[in-house]
Structure 1
Amino acid sequence: MNDKSTLERALELARQSSCRNLEEIRRTLKTEGYHGIEQHLAGSSIKKQLNAAIADRFRANEAAES
């Protein structure tokens, strides 16, 4: 049983993992045993949030490297 909801874990992956896009987040969630992933990540709002979190992480990593 997962302690976090699908959305919570997806946002965590977007902010803190090596996932580079939504497809990698979906695959990771599936591997971790989450269900109903497509339904949870189908809305345009959550997609925008996840993509923004991924972009923010990449910008932060680039800034740290320079």
Structure 2
Amino acid sequence: MFHLSGALLSMLGDRAAYLDPGSGSFLLQLLLAALLGVGLALRASWSKVKGLFRRSPADEEGDDELDEEI
């Protein structure tokens, strides 16, 4: 998306850009919505993400047996 924006902005040349308060407010709303969306997506799938890094009970039992043999 940023590449497309950069390409479009490079076509403008020396034209002056005007950002009124409404544009700034819109950009702020986009940023906040993106941050909240990512936060909600992480919260909804947190248990799956956490499960990727958690050891399974079978792995823990196998480690105990190896420690006893050494």
| Bigger RCO (CA 8 Å, 6+ sep) | 1
TM-score by length of 1: 0.44
TM-score by length of 2: 0.42
- Quick check: which one's helix share is greater? 2
